[in-house]
Amino acid sequence: MKREEAIKRLGEIDREFVLLSHIGGVLVWDQESVPSAGAQERAQQLGLLDRKMHDLSASEEMGEILAQLGAAEGREEGEDSLDERTRGMVRQYFRAWNRERKLDADFVQEFSETTNQAHHIWAAARKNNDFSLYEPVLSRIVELVQRKAGAFGFKDDPYDPLLDVFEPGTSTAEVEQLFREMQGDLMGIMDRMREAGPVDDTFLYSSYAQDKQSAFGHEVLDAMGFDWNRGVCGISTHPYTISLGADDIRITTRFTEPSVISPLFSSIHEGGHALYEMGASNEVTRGTCLANGASLAFHESQSRLWENMIGRSRAFWVRFFPRLNELFPIQLEYVDVDKFLAAVNVVKPSEIRVDADEVTYGLHIILRFELERELLSGNLPVSDLPGAWNDGMEKLLGVRPKSDRVGVLQDVHWSMGELGYFPTYALGNLYGAQILHTMNREIDVDAVVATGDFSPVRMWLDQHILRHGSLYKPKDLLRKVTGEPLDAKYFREYLSNKYLGSL
């Protein structure tokens, strides 16, 4: 195979891979939005797509293409003489090939079908608050994940190859170190906030009309620069963002009566993800595997930067509170911007991760990180998981869940076989704070936010992060943007300024 032919074939295979991946997106979106009895076959459909994607990336031909372009262990991006775009694609496929060829196609399909069915079993177990329904399939999943980690291979820790799928180039030891530091920071702030006494946030839980909540969310997404010509916003139980095509990026929000916070902040959060997907698909990357975020932590840095660092800032609410007040004059009759701001930033250890505040959120993640490692090593049998969960919650957050439904059954991820995923959420907070610190050196973020038109912020993010898609390794991109490696101190400083200074 000649070099030109290899580049051409890589492009063709990539195109097919991306189409299959977007087709999978349609299947997932439909599954989430249309209640139907087709779950079992839908799992088989998704299994078939996964198998086809596996076949494409694990093929002998792919091995030849990558060899022809000079990719090898330690030189994932291939020859220096390749252009940047091709090097990015070579890196992506070398990583995938190097992983996928170690799994046989039957394993891939079994993994996919098991996890797709487990999704529905998990949902039923959660609904019925009955972990025993979920235990058998979760045990099976842990076993499959152990086999996967073994097949991928590792030097230090079986968690390494799993984490690397979601956060390329980051080791378990690095996460452990970052999380140890973060745990101290978070528990310290949490204790200080507890001493400060309770905050009145009851007014957030009165009844707010959905159509007005939608309208407000829409206005905020407008201000962020969400492109309605390329995006759709739907409704689901769990908000998420998904790409069904280069110009078909969908987010959902949720309405959990009675609360005005959840739909609003989930719109901003998913809006942050959507801006990334929209920016990552441009003239250089469009339709390729590069039209994606640099990593999950990078993706999460964007959603959390928008949701928390901007969406819960004083500058934001000085601008938007009057509008909210106009929409909900009765509910907010005795509320001013200070009171509102205090309420949406209340720090309160609780059972549910997705409802957690910025401070306690990371502790929820540390719990999952620790439990995943124990499950993986075999030290923790799945049957003991609910107890270990509750003990961990008590130790880290001082809260013991009242039931498994609000304890070990709350998250979907394990049912999807996605061990190694959770750490990226907390890493996203660390990335986000470091990026915000850099951005603040160049533009006055608060001043921009206060205008109600966030374009300068979005354009800065686009120029420095979004438009690069996954052209670069996440660690390289972070260094390119901020000039240094990941450092937990920026998140500590951000939180200290916010919570221990004045809001």
Q: Which stretch binds its own copies (CB under 8 A): 109-117, 187-195, 228-236, 259-267?
A: 228-236
β-pairing verdict for 241-245 and 248-253: antiparallel
Are 179 and 366 contacting, i.e. CB atoms less than 8 angstroms apart? yes
In this complex, which beta carbon is closest to its own copies, that of residue 44 or of residue 438? 44
- The DSSP string of 201-258 is -GGGGS---HHHHHHHHHHHHHHHT--TTTEEEEE-SS--EEEEETTEEEEEE---SS
Out of 247, 336, 384, 394, the residue judged to bind its own copies by CB under 8 A: 247
Q: Which stretch binds its own copies (CB under 8 A): 229-237, 289-297, 344-352, 372-380?
A: 229-237
Q: Is 38 in the site for its own copies (CB under 8 A)?
A: yes
Least distance CB 428 / its own copies (angstroms): 27
Are 7 and 14 contacting, i.e. CB atoms less than 8 angstroms apart? no
Out of 2, 4, 35, 502, the residue judged to bind its own copies by CB under 8 A: 35
CA distance 341 to 199: 11
* 188 Cβ contact partners less than 8 Å away, ≥ 6 residues apart: none
Q: What is the distance of C-alpha 57 from the center of its chain?
A: 24
Least distance CB 373 / its own copies (angstroms): 36
Q: Is 19 in the site for its own copies (CB under 8 A)?
A: yes
Active-site annotation holder among 77, 100, 270, 358: 270
Among positions 131-190, residues that touch its own copies (CB under 8 A) are: none
In this complex, which beta carbon is closest to its own copies, that of residue 249 or of residue 427? 249
DSSP code at position 415: G
Q: What is the Cα Rg of the chain in Å?
A: 23
Q: Which stretch binds its own copies (CB under 8 A): 89-97, 112-120, 242-250, 265-273?
A: 242-250
The residue count for binding its own copies (CB under 8 A) is 33
- The DSSP string of 334-403 is T--HHHHHHHHT-----S-GGG--HHHHHHHHHHHHHHHHHHHHTSS-GGGHHHHHHHHHHHHHS---SS
Out of 54, 95, 126, 250, the residue judged to bind its own copies by CB under 8 A: 250
Out of 6, 121, 193, 244, the residue judged to bind its own copies by CB under 8 A: 244
Out of 63, 169, 234, 456, the residue judged to bind its own copies by CB under 8 A: 234
Q: Is 61 in the site for its own copies (CB under 8 A)?
A: no
β-pairing verdict for 231-235 and 248-253: parallel
In this complex, which beta carbon is closest to its own copies, that of residue 15 or of residue 194? 15
Out of 7, 27, 165, 315, the residue judged to bind its own copies by CB under 8 A: 27
Is 358 in the active site? no
Least distance CB 34 / its own copies (angstroms): 6
CA distance 221 to 227: 9
H helix runs in 34-130, sequence order:
39-58, 60-68, 84-100, 105-127
In this complex, which beta carbon is closest to its own copies, that of residue 163 or of residue 244? 244
Q: Phi, psi (5° rounding) for residue 215?
A: -60, -45
Q: Which stretch binds its own copies (CB under 8 A): 28-36, 379-387, 399-407, 469-477?
A: 28-36
Closest CA to 32 of 232, 198, 307: 232
CA distance 167 to 291: 17
In this complex, which beta carbon is closest to its own copies, that of residue 90 or of residue 290? 290
Out of 3, 9, 11, 23, the residue judged to bind its own copies by CB under 8 A: 23
Q: Is 284 in the site for its own copies (CB under 8 A)?
A: no
In this complex, which beta carbon is closest to its own copies, that of residue 244 or of residue 466? 244
3-state class of 455 per DSSP?
helix
CA distance 209 to 264: 13
Q: Is 124 in the site for its own copies (CB under 8 A)?
A: no
In this complex, which beta carbon is closest to its own copies, that of residue 19 or of residue 124? 19
Least distance CB 96 / its own copies (angstroms): 19
Residues found near its own copies in the complex (CB under 8 A): 16, 19-20, 22-23, 26-27, 29-30, 34-38, 40-42, 44-45, 48-49, 52, 229-230, 232, 234, 244-248, 250, 287
Q: List residues with catalytic annotation.
A: 270
